[in-house]
Amino acid sequence: MSMSEGSAHQGILRHPRIGAALAFLAFAFATLLMLYPMLWQPYLPLVDIPNHIARFTVMADPEGPLSKYYDLQAAFLYPNSATDLLWLVTGMEGDPVAFARMTMMVYVVNFILSVVVLNRVATGRWAAWPAIAGLLVYNGNFIWGFQNYVFTIPFSLHALSLWLVLERRSTVWRALIFLPISILLYTMHLLAFGVLIVALLGREIHLIIGDEGGRTHKISDTFISGVPFLIPTLWYLYQTMSQPAGALGSRTELGHWWSGRLRALLSIQWENPLHEFPEIFLSALLTLFVLGLCFLAIFRTSGPRLHIVSSMKGPVIALALLSLIAPSWLNGVALIHIRFPFVAMTLLIAGTYCMGLRLHHKAVLTLVLTGLLFLKAAQFEKLWATHNQDINDLKVVLSELPPNSRLLPLRASDQENMQRRLWHAQAYAMIYQDAFIPTFFQGSHAVILKGEWDQYATAALRPKSIEQLLNADAIDPSLPYAYLRDWETKFTHILFLDKMSPPAPLSETVLELGSKGRFTLLGIRSPA
């Protein structure tokens, strides 16, 4: 922090113990509120999370019934293995559902903590302000259930804090310290590793531009400091270029820029269609509006305002630029463009502090932000409760499914794109009944599908509709949902994820075994 910033910051340096106490209270308050929806409900309403739990199930029993369909590879070979490695370290004992919930609770605590710590490092003082990062906990990446990514992001923020702390130390020593850190973060999640690289690059460029009389030396320092990050990056590029495309393919595209950037902006708070829990969508817009007003105060030169410290300007600008240019698809992975905006806003929170606030300003700001935290906790508690009721109904239906079955999930014709939180609910059949499902993720994790079952599955797809099943014979074999072809012989059971009855063409082929809530289990009669 520069001398001018230190003078401006003098007002919050007068009572360091009070500041530390307020920081702790704000951190504890925001963390407990964001944890509240998870404390009482075991099942997370996150789109991809059932598939992750199913992967833990397969990993825990490598010789079990599902080994007929899946092989295991070393988790460290995939740069998307944060929770896989943690599951291995814990001995893979216990309930994988509870483990998945625990990892996301750790994320909540660690995310808010990492912002508070980074703010302390950047500003030189503990403060209550960074606890508003609690408003970013339930971002679009969390809603999608990008478990390894969101779990790793706080560790990237901690690494950024460490980098800033070590800036005045030996460049060589810093490089040596960050070599194992960079390898570990790369293994935990490639994109979270990339977030750290971009943030540090922004910091170093800002230093180079602002350095007087030492430009060549600073560039050389930057190069030496970057060596630890170059090693995993080159390894990834080598693997990508030397190996054929995996199950996910190699699709890379920018997508529609304007609509993509709007979606990315909204993903800071929410990532579901308006008609699904509209009250959460509206409160997300309100939260973005309030945060936007707060950050506009950065441009004020007097009165109540926010000040961004010099050390965080580069990282914030770098992540903001990355958010603007990120593609929607990268090497077969979707939704790349929503991964970074919430991190950019997180860095903005971590790099700022309040100035010129009178008592009534503080009271209003505290009341508004606290109200938003309470609102978010209450709304997500309702979402959690609704989802857990659905999954409990599903468990009752799945109890009628014989172990080791092959289960085909289907949606109603007008519901295929609805209720994203249920897109992968069929994975609970893997968890509780050791059943095979065609929509279990392939291509980016340590559990891989055996080649002889390729025609029975898809790499990453939500369940298709009953209408498409009725026209399965006309499906092009090259399409990702070609697993529907010859479904009568490939699968033993059907799971309806929406409340519906078998259409007439299926009435002689299937037999209803159980139904509860929106779910129905059907047995497929063996061909004569």
| pLDDT given at position 215 | 52
For residue 463, give both structure tokens.
């369940």
Q: 386-405 b/e with 16+ CB inside 10 Å = b?
A: ebbebbeebbebbeebeeeb
| pLDDT given at position 212 | 44
CA distances from 479 to 341, 455, 474, 482 (A): 33, 11, 11, 5
| pLDDT given at position 11 | 47
DSSP per-residue string spanning 160-189: HHHHHHTTTS-HHHHHHHHHHHHHHHHHH-
For residue 176, give both structure tokens.
């040596």
Could you tell me whether strands 407-411 and 464-465 are parallel, antiparallel, or unpaired per DSSP bridges?
Answer: parallel
| pLDDT given at position 319 | 99
Answer for the pair 178, 222: CB distance below 8 angstroms, yes or no: no
Could you give the 3-state DSSP secondary structure of residue 323?
Answer: helix
CB under 8 Å to 155, separation ≥6 — which residues? 110, 114, 185, 188, 192
Give alpha helix (H) positions in 399-449.
428-433
User: How many Cβ atoms from other residues are within 10 Å of residue 283's Cβ?
Assistant: 19
Answer for the pair 445, 74: CB distance below 8 angstroms, yes or no: no
Tens digit of each residue's pLDDT, the chain (528 residues)? 444 444 444 444 456 788 889 999 999 999 999 999 999 899 999 999 999 999 999 999 999 999 999 998 876 678 999 999 999 999 998 999 999 999 999 999 999 999 999 999 999 999 999 999 999 999 999 999 999 999 999 999 999 999 999 998 889 999 999 999 999 999 999 999 999 999 999 999 999 887 544 555 578 888 898 999 999 999 999 888 887 776 677 889 999 999 999 999 999 999 887 777 899 999 999 999 999 999 999 999 999 999 999 999 999 999 999 999 999 999 889 999 999 999 999 999 999 999 999 999 999 999 999 999 999 999 999 999 999 999 999 999 999 999 999 999 999 987 877 889 999 999 999 999 999 999 998 867 788 899 999 999 998 789 999 999 999 989 998 888 999 999 999 999 999 999 998 888 887 899 999 999 999 999 998 765
Could you give the 3-state DSSP secondary structure of residue 330?
Answer: strand
Answer for the pair 329, 253: CB distance below 8 angstroms, yes or no: yes
Which of these, 367, 351, 374, lies nearest to 130 by C-alpha position?
A: 351
Rounded Cα distance between 302 and 357, Å, is: 10
CA 431, 433, 437: angle at the middle one, nearest 5?
75
Predicted model pTM: 0.94
Q: Which residue has the tokens 């063409």?
A: 505
| pLDDT given at position 401 | 97
Residue 384: alpha-carbon gap to chain centroid:
17
Termini Cα distance of the chain: 79
| pLDDT given at position 335 | 95
Could you give the 3-state DSSP secondary structure of residue 270?
Answer: coil
Report, in angstroms and rounded to the nearest whole number, the Rg of the chain calculated over CA atoms: 25
- E strands, 17-81, are 70-72
CA distances from 453 to 69, 71, 408, 483 (A): 7, 12, 14, 10
